[in-house]
Amino acid sequence: MYAVEINSLSKSFGKTKALDSVTFAVERGELFGLIGPDGAGKTTLFRLLTTLLNPDNGSATIDGFDIVKDYHTIRSRVGYMPGRFSLYPDLTVEENLNFFAALFGVTVEESYDLIAPIYSHIEPFRTRRAGKLSGGMKQKLALSCALIHRPSVLFLDEPTTGVDAVSRCEFWDMLSELKTKGITILASTPYMDEASRCDRIALCDKGHILDINTPQDIVNKYDSNLYAINADNMFNLLEASRKATGVIECYPFGESHHLVTNEEFDLNHYKEELGDFKNLTITPTAPTIEDMFIKLMKR
Amino acid sequence: MPLVMTMDVRNVNIAVVDLDHSTTSNRIISHIEASEYLSLVGTTEQYIVAMDALENGTVDIIVQIPNNFERDMIVSTPEKINITANAVNATKGSLGSQYLVQTIARALQELKNEKSPTQLSELVTVQNRFNPTLNYRHYMIPALMIILFILICGFLPALSIVGEKESGTIEQINVTPVSRMTFILSKLIPYWLIGLFVLTIAMIVARVVYGLYPVGSIGLIYFGAACFILTISGFSLTIANFSETMQQTMFVMFFFVMIFMLMSGLLTPIDSMPNWAQKFTGILPPRYFVEILRSVYLKGSTFMDLWHNYLALGIFATIFNILAALTYKKQA
């Protein structure tokens, strides 16, 4: 049995289709990533799976329980960490934890071994009000609260948005550790670089799933040639490259532009077409998940 | 609050234009001076001077005693005493002139009695039942208690629920196995208790500070309060269900609370409203509680006298709470 099984799930808000018959399944004990830009439907999917929303069409089960019929059972089995910090800012760290333990009918001691690796980071501040914590500490507290009842599936909606790079890395380390304890984790993120930390990822955009695979397989499927190009006048370079023969597309990527080409492409011919650019460098480069995402999105 | 919110008119400034200079006019002036509601600013012989003072606002009412008033009163019908009142503040103008007329009448009656002591009987006697001294505070105190209820049990629960919606904490609660009913009750019960606690305090203050205690049974008051609390909190819950932000709740609540305050007979009697407005008050829940509280407090009415008010509140409580339960979506 899959931990999460989703069958052509759809949800619309007015005329906007937030989710358009999404189907996939997540294995038990898997760290599954939902990668996509804002508005891809990640939050809607999480809200459906945590029974905060009812689907328009399709069905989904969590540990075999239906999200509509058995919503009550599901609520005590899943942990949910919304994208927005949503603990009580007026309660202290300790009070928040005790409060959520009480809501689930457990005590902090019972689950302490599970949350200890995370909670130990913020335990020195346990008498501080949650609203006064730093962003990274808030996330750790929210994760502790989401884990307090030993959920079998954990939903993390953009847990690292607005958190600094070091804390983000630390956060993903913690998730990997949780995975070893048999908890199935679904995390969404707009950051493509975090995708490699997941066992499998789903690329989604505008309510559709573009592809589901391991991060490595997604990259391996990339079948075009990719070059990183640089010059002094980056903007003109972008314009000129887009007009050149054999170029499928050219887009800014960090410090350079990425150039996607087909069989007609010839490096020397391309250089001639570009004309005079100072400090022009063209190097073949390995595709990343972001390149794949852009390619799938354009299709 | 009851000290400030009063319709009793005091300190009405009087100027007397005395053209008569007789024992009678002196008697009238001394009566005005002695009155607890009126205060004599001065006497003059020129109406124009008094009129100037009225226009400046230093004088509220002018009394003009005509020339030869005393003599004419004995031989024939005298020229009438002329009263000019500043009616910008209509209450002060009309009540002030009434006090003044009574004061003058008393002075004249006294003089008459001194001359022919046999006629002592007064022609009219007025007896005010239930509030013998016509103390406006006794009328206002129950109303103020109800305003407190509307604010505590109407505004606060709605704001606290919408506050959770705004901060997003409601999402976190919703994914827990805690049922919606438990959540809602946990939001309401504190305010119910606070409401009843405030009622108790208000009744003690009314007793100790203003000497007002309910003639009827205290149990009836608490029973009415309980019905009213259920009604108003169900109402506020319905509004909270429909709003996303505190501001929305505030504006919608304000709209209804203004109508409640102005049209439920809290401040002005329903009987003096136009006919259509009187009919309209039938759909305002506070109207029934106002009637209960005032009748029990001042008249000592029993449940049999007021049962239809309790029934109305009961119906409102049921309607609003069912509405609140229906509009409260378990899942968005």
Q: Mean pLDDT across the stretch A182-203?
A: 88
Domains in chain B: how many in total? 2
Q: Tell me the chain A residues in contact with residue B160 when contact means C-beta distances shorter than 8 Å.
A: none
Both B77 and B176 in one domain: the answer is no
Are B172 and A75 an interchain contact pair (Cβ–Cβ within 8 Å)? no
> Residue B175's pLDDT band (boundaries 50, 70, 90)?
confident
The residues that bridge with A61 in the sheet, in sequence order, are A5, A66
Q: Tell me the chain B residues in contact with residue A48 when contact means C-beta distances shorter than 8 Å.
A: none
Residue B209 lies in a domain: yes
Q: Mean pLDDT across the stretch B324-332?
A: 69
Both B203 and B75 in one domain: the answer is no
Both B101 and B162 in one domain: the answer is no
For residue B35, the domain's CATH number is 3.40.1710.10
Contact partners, residue B201, CB within 8 Å, separation at least 6: none
Contact partners, residue B125, CB within 8 Å, separation at least 6: none
Q: Mean pLDDT across the stretch A112-131?
A: 89
pLDDT at B6: 66
pLDDT at B284: 92
Both B208 and B111 in one domain: the answer is no
**B178 lies within 8 A of chain A by CB:** yes
pLDDT in tens, A253-266: 888 899 888 888 88
Both B315 and B240 in one domain: the answer is yes
Residue B20 lies in a domain: yes
Both B92 and B238 in one domain: the answer is no
Closest in A52, A72, A145 to B171, CB measured:
A52
| pLDDT of B122 higher than 60 | no
pLDDT in tens, B273-295: 888 988 899 999 999 999 999 89
**B173 lies within 8 A of chain A by CB:** yes
Are A104 and B169 an interchain contact pair (Cβ–Cβ within 8 Å)? no
Tokens, residue A170: 């630390």
DSSP per residue, B44-63 = ES-HHHHHHHHHHTS-SEEE
| Helices within chain A (DSSP H only) | 42-49, 71-77, 93-103, 112-122, 135-147, 165-180, 215-220, 234-243, 267-274, 289-298
- Classify residue B109 by burial, with Cβ atoms within 10 Å: 0-12, 13-18, 19+: middle
Domain containing B198 equals: 136-327
Ramachandran assignment for B299, one of left (phi > 0), alpha (psi -120 to 50 degrees), beta (any other): alpha
Contact partners, residue A218, CB within 8 Å, separation at least 6: A201, A203, A211, A289, A292
- Kindly state the helix (H) or strand (E) to which residue B38 belongs, with its residue range: strand B38-44
| pLDDT of B119 higher than 70 | no
Q: CA nearest B169 in A: which residue?
A: A86
Mean pLDDT score of chain B: 85
pLDDT in tens, B220-231: 999 999 999 999
Q: What is the pTM of this model?
A: 0.74
| pLDDT of A140 higher than 60 | yes
Tokens, residue A207: 């309510």
Q: Mean pLDDT across the stretch A175-186?
A: 90
Q: Tell me the chain A residues in contact with residue B186 when contact means C-beta distances shorter than 8 Å.
A: none
Q: Tell me the chain A residues in contact with residue B171 when contact means C-beta distances shorter than 8 Å.
A: 52, 80, 82, 86
Closest in A53, A76, A80 to B177, CB measured:
A76
Are B332 and A52 an interchain contact pair (Cβ–Cβ within 8 Å)? yes
CB-based contact A25:A49 (threshold 8 Å): no
Both B92 and B154 in one domain: the answer is no
Using a CB–CB cut-off of 8 Å, the residues of A that contact B are 47, 50-54, 71-72, 75-76, 78, 80, 82, 84-89, 100, 103-105, 145
pLDDT in tens, A73-113: 888 899 999 888 888 999 999 999 999 999 998 998 888 88
Both B141 and B97 in one domain: the answer is no
Size of interface A-B (CB pairs under 8 A): 47
pLDDT at B332: 45
Both B142 and B286 in one domain: the answer is yes
- Classify residue A233 by burial, with Cβ atoms within 10 Å: 0-12, 13-18, 19+: middle
The residues that bridge with A212 in the sheet, in sequence order, are A202
pLDDT in tens, B40-72: 888 888 888 888 888 888 888 898 888 888 888
- Which range scores top for mean pLDDT: A88-97, B71-80, B163-172? A88-97
Residue B156 lies in a domain: yes
Both B266 and B191 in one domain: the answer is yes
State the first-to-last Cα distance of chain B, in angstroms, to the nearest integer: 44
| pLDDT of A274 higher than 60 | yes
Of B115, B145, B174, which residue sits at a domain end?
Answer: B115
Q: Tell me the chain B residues in contact with residue A104 when contact means C-beta distances shorter than 8 Å.
A: 176-177
- Which range scores top for mean pLDDT: A227-241, A275-289, B245-259? B245-259
| Most A-contacting residue of B160, B172, B330 (CB-CB within 10 A), to test interface | B172
Identify which has the larger pLDDT, B10 or A216: A216
Are B177 and A88 an interchain contact pair (Cβ–Cβ within 8 Å)? no
pLDDT at B331: 52
A20-24, A30-34, A294-298: least confidently modelled range? A294-298
| pLDDT of A188 higher than 80 | yes
pLDDT at A62: 92
| Dist. CA A74–CA A69, nearest whole Å | 10
pLDDT at B4: 66
**Min Cα–Cα distance to chain A from B169, Å:** 5
DSSP state of A1: -
CA atoms lying within 13 Å on the CB side of residue B82: 12
Identify which has the larger pLDDT, A241 or B77: A241
The residues that bridge with A24 in the sheet, in sequence order, are A6
Of B55, B81, B115, which residue sits at a domain end?
Answer: B115
The Cβ of residue B295 has, within 10 Å, a number of other Cβ atoms equal to 22
Are B177 and A75 an interchain contact pair (Cβ–Cβ within 8 Å)? yes
**Min Cα–Cα distance to chain B from A79, Å:** 8
Residue B236 lies in a domain: yes
Of B58, B83, B115, which residue sits at a domain end?
Answer: B115
CA atoms lying within 13 Å on the CB side of residue A176: 12
Q: Tell me the chain B residues in contact with residue A47 when contact means C-beta distances shorter than 8 Å.
A: 332
Residue B120 lies in a domain: no
> Model ipTM?
0.73
**Min Cα–Cα distance to chain A from B165, Å:** 10
